[in-house]
Amino acid sequence: MRTTTSTAPNTTAIVTGAGTGIGEAVCERLAAEGVHVVLIGRRAVVLEAAAARVGGTAVVGDASDPGVAARAVFACVEAGGGVDIVV
């Protein structure tokens, strides 16, 4: 498995299960590296709080739902790029 973290301008990441635990920790690490993080999770209050802490974008819903996945990709595009990292 290859792992890469980039601090290049306009780098974006989608992180699923991002509201708590390992997902939240991944978001914190990526954000610290300068990556714009799009957080996906099912619990709105928890997810939005995590997104606020890391300066990311919350997409509430189940990542297995194609509509939620599409909203996350759109959020990456709006942030200034495409999808560079998926966790």
Cβ atoms of 38 and 15 within 8 Å: the answer is: yes
Q: What is the pLDDT of residues 19-69, one digit of tens each?
A: 999 999 999 999 999 999 999 999 999 999 999 999 999 999 999 999 999
Confidence tier at 79 by pLDDT (50, 70, 90): confident
**Model pTM?**
0.88
Q: How far apart are CA 61 and CA 76, in angstroms?
A: 16
**Residue 10 has what DSSP assignment?**
T
Model confidence at 4: pLDDT above 60: no
